[in-house]
Amino acid sequence: MPSQTLLLGQTLSFVADPFADGPAAARHDSAGGVLVADGHIMEVGHGADLRAAYPQAQVVDHGQALLIAGFVDAHVHYPQTGIIASWGKRLIDWLNSYTFPEEMRFGDPAYAADIASQYLDLTLAHGTTTVCSYCTIHPESVDAIFTAAQARGQRIVAGKTCMDRNAPDGLRDTARTAYDDSRALLQKWQGVDRLSYAITPRFSPTSSVAQLEALGALWAEHPDCLMQTHLSEQIDEIAWVRGLFPEARDYLDTYEAHGLLGANGLYGHTIHLEQREKDRLREVGAALVHCPTSNTFIGSGLFDMAGLVAAGQRVGLATDTGGGSSFSMLRTMAAAYEIGQLRGTPLHAAQLLWLATVGSARSLRLDDRIGNLAPRMEADIIALDLASTPAIAQRSARATDIWEAVFPTIMMGDDRAIAATWVAGKRLV
């Protein structure tokens, strides 16, 4: 029998979707426990009961910390770690001024490995146990993030970013090399340990029709893979797409016409969607990924969380590092709340936590493995200190229920709130 570890603390898990069922979708135990063995959750229950039932288990008592599933960040650019919080640009200028010069450095395997390691350590410190990352055009950048995640035992998704136009010399591939490199990387990494590959055209403006078709063909050959890209982030971006693809019905059609619309598609931002686009995304079961700190930081607009969820869309949550201004999913939840307020539809704490765990796992088609505290799930778990700073502690001390207790941490918490991060049953933070 594998060795067993019993984590004690408050526990919070989900048995339903709080967007449909409200806070009743969650199960909270103020003195709970999570039994872990062989990298998986074996049982979730009352702490005293589990302690009596498994006297041989090693006990790790997190006191009043809240045990929840590790955060899942559904859209990031790990190569932008070094340029996070750069001043004053909107999307297209951001790419040209900051992103492209930095991404050109990732052909150096040592540099890519260093940034990949820094990035994963930063996000683990913030309680993020799974990310879905864009890399650069360089295969070395993909090898770097997968190797770093593999060393930590993490479940992650990543892919080579493909661009063959509207990018600087030295940062373009071709339709042929995009297909060949992506196929080779997919075959090398997909399904190895806890790693998954995502076919990754950056977005339509930086891919020719030939490249979009090549990547659509690759996805058709490997339909179980995820495909990630960007969609309808800014108004001027949409106008640019219209000029580049005059025959397209809308922005989504630039993907749909070339085999890049499907149930395993991840479409980042999706702020300014037309009705046909909304209908088609819902019909195929694609995932939309909300990136609230990015949307405010580079002035993109206000995502319609309430309207899109009510219409039946699958939605995940993401930092969008480094257009997003934080590595923290707590800060990301706070920004999602603020955007909801601006739209007149504030999100409940249960909905925010669900988005950062189950919702994002669902968008990655991984919710059968990560994103919740439940038997047979992989043991990616964090312990949240609900009194990590004096300001948070004085507010949470007045709480009358778990939601009042956790909401100050969502709104004001940072890496100090992460008392522990467990990945596949091993404590890394």
Residue 1 has pLDDT above 70, yes or no: no
What average pLDDT does the structure give for the chain?
96
**Whole-number pLDDT of residue 90:** 74
**pLDDT for 239-256, tens place per residue?**
999 999 999 999 999 999
Compute the average pLDDT of residues 315-340.
Answer: 96
**Whole-number pLDDT of residue 123:** 98
Partners of 381 in the β-ladder: 69, 422
CA distance 178 to 183: 8
∠318-323-325 over CA atoms, to 5°?
A: 75
Residue 395 has pLDDT above 80, yes or no: yes
| Superfamily for domain range 4-70+371-427 | Urease, subunit C, domain 1 (2.30.40.10)
Give the three-class secondary structure for 400: coil
Question: What is the residue extent of each domain of the chain?
Answer: 4-70+371-427, 71-363
What tokens appear for 256 in the block?
A: 């749909």
Compute the average pLDDT of residues 376-388.
Answer: 98
Q: What percent of the chain has pLDDT over 90?
A: 93
What lies within 8 Å, CB to CB, of 391 at 6+ separation is 408, 412
Q: How distant is the alpha carbon of residue 375 from its chain centre?
A: 23
**Whole-number pLDDT of residue 322:** 86
Residue with the larger pLDDT of the pair 89 and 106 = 106
Q: What percent of the chain has pLDDT over 70?
A: 99
**pLDDT for 32-62, tens place per residue?**
999 999 999 999 999 999 999 999 999 999 9
**Which architecture, in CATH terms, is 71-363?**
Alpha-Beta Barrel (3.20)
**Whole-number pLDDT of residue 111:** 97
**Residue 307 pLDDT level (bands cut at 50, 70, 90):** very high
Nearest to 366 by CA among 154, 171, 150: 154
Instruction: Please check whether the two domains, 4-70+371-427 and 71-363, share a CATH topology.
Output: no
**Residue 346 pLDDT level (bands cut at 50, 70, 90):** very high
CA distance 347 to 205: 33
Residue 423 has pLDDT above 60, yes or no: yes
**Residue 98 pLDDT level (bands cut at 50, 70, 90):** confident
**Whole-number pLDDT of residue 93:** 83
Q: 74 and 289 in contact (C-beta within 8 Å)?
A: yes
**Whole-number pLDDT of residue 105:** 93
Residue 2 has pLDDT above 70, yes or no: no
**Residue 87 pLDDT level (bands cut at 50, 70, 90):** confident
Residue 392 has pLDDT above 80, yes or no: yes
**Whole-number pLDDT of residue 95:** 81
Compute the average pLDDT of residues 131-160.
Answer: 98
Strand ranges in 138-291 using DSSP code E only, listed in sequence order = 156-159, 161-162, 195-201, 226-231, 265-269, 287-290
Question: Which phi and psi angles does 244 have, rounded to 5°?
Answer: -80, -30
